[in-house]
Amino acid sequence: MAFTLPAGVLDRPTPFYYYDLHLLDQTLAALQRAARPRGFQVHYALKANTNGPVLAHIREHGLGADCVSGNEVQRALSAGFKPDHIVFAGVGKSDAEMNLALAADIWCFNAESVEELAVLNELAGAQNRKARVALRINPNVDAYTHPHITTGLDANKFGINISDLPAVIEKFETLTNLELIGLHTHVGSQITNLTVFEKLSHKLNELQTWLEDRGHFLPHLNVGGGLGIDYHAPDTNPIPEFERYFRVFEKYLVRRPNQQVHVELGRSVVAQCGSLVSKVLFVKRSQQTNFAILDAGMTELIRPALYGSYHAIQNLTSQGEAQPYDVVGPICESSDTFGRQVLLPETRRGDIVVIRSAGAYGEVMSSGYNLREKAEAVYSL
């Protein structure tokens, strides 16, 4: 179905983010239909989008919260996520952030280094608490995605290397304010090759056998997030392939009796429900190309500039003959380009251009560079 905006929305000043909460609900329903019968627990990765109405819908569908900063933990709590549905991950948690999460008695810390474990143990002791911990393991599994969003290789800063695991497990004996409850991994984002999750399952199976041989049973496994979406066809594929994704883990991950498996998805939950809506300021013709200059730029959506990522771009107001345009923003950087040689119907000043699949890692990564104002968020009813 072709993309349209509800009447009245365009009375707002551009640029703005538009969120289709009906599509978000459909996505969440599809996600839980695939996860629940298979016994998977889903935590939503707040880093993808932290807007209040978005979080409210996500919580209503029974997801937990995966946070990577103290402020995200606080945002999750104020959005009504129960502390025992909140996990806190991140390679560099500050003492203040850990203290906040300890005081809130969140369900689990995903710990990423020996030093972090020692500090968390000390801070938990000072609060007279016992913190539940999952070890984030770096499984050295290639996610076959953009290098900037690959996290599970030895070269990446994330997680505890498998070779360090014996020492970490030994150290746990002395960390009396910590309770080791699980293993955590996250190998990357926008993963479309599902054999990555098959390989990850095999790695986790090996790790579990290794731990069991040493007398450790961990009741929780967290396989992270990363499921990709179809940036090329947001209208034909608005809902990600949750069934196929969970089937991979169901088939290859050997779950122990009474063991819980958790996933922490961000992009696949919220990307397709959000669009960046902008107006064409000018059309400039050069020898080489036509530039469609929008009033939205890399300050609102940095993904194309930062990762060279593709987003579908549509002109909602013109019926003219298709022509190629370099679609750019107003920021003083040549990387402020949303797409090159994009075929659009003949485009003029004042036309409305939308950049699709921008609900994840769009608004949250916006900046005030060039003293730009923060774009408003508008929601469908």
The footprint of ligand LLP (CB under 6 A) covers 45, 47-48, 66, 89, 149, 151, 186, 189-190, 224-227, 264-268, 303, 307, 361
Q: Kindly state the smallest distance separating residue 47's Cβ from ligand LLP, in Å.
A: 6
Strand partners, 210: none
Residue 44 CB, shortest distance to ligand LLP, in Å, is 9
352's enclosing H/E stretch is strand 352-355
Quick one: 66 or 351, whose CB is closer to ligand LLP?
66
Query: CB 187 → ligand LLP: shortest distance, Å?
Result: 9
Specify the residue, 149 or 169, whose C-beta has the smaller distance to ligand LLP: 149
Residue with tokens 């690959």: 150
Q: CB nearer to ligand LLP: give 241 or 351.
A: 241
Burial label for 115, CB within 10 Å (0-12, 13-18, 19+), is: exposed
Are the C-beta atoms of 320 and 345 separated by less than 8 Å? Answer: yes
Minimum Å gap between C-beta 265 and ligand LLP is 4
Nearer to ligand LLP, 138 or 189 (CB): 189
Q: Please report, to the nearest 10 degrees, the dihedral formed by the alpha carbons of residues 329, 331, 334, 335 taken in order.
A: -70
Cβ nearer to ligand LLP, comparing 18 with 361: 361
Query: Least distance from C-beta 148 to ligand LLP, angstroms?
Result: 7
Instruction: Please list, in sequence order, all residues whose beta carbon lies within 8 angstroms of the beta carbon of residue 19, skipping any fewer than 6 positions away.
Output: 51, 53, 54, 273, 274, 359, 377, 378, 379, 380
| Of 47 and 57, CB closest to ligand LLP | 47
Q: How far is the CB of 186 from ligand LLP (least distance, A)?
A: 4
Nearest to 42 by CA among 224, 264, 222: 264
**Residue number, 109 or 325, with CB nearest to ligand LLP:** 109
Q: What is each CA distance from 16 to 268, 299, 301, in whole angstroms?
A: 21, 12, 11
Question: Nearest distance from residue 69's CB to ligand LLP, in Å?
Answer: 12
**Residue showing tokens 């280094």:** 113
Tokens 């993309």 sit at which residue? 3
- To ligand LLP, the closest distance from the beta carbon of 81 in angstroms equals 15
Three-class SS state of 142: coil
Closer residue to ligand LLP, CB minimum distance, 108 or 293 = 108
Query: 244: which 2 tokens?
Result: 């196929």
Fill in the amino acid letter for 173: E
Across 248-266, b (16+ Cβ under 10 Å) vs e yields bbbebbebeeebebbbbbb
3-state helix, strand, coil in the chain (%, to 5): 35, 25, 40
Backbone angles phi, psi at 306, to 5 degrees: -85, -40
Which residue shows structure tokens 């290794």? 210
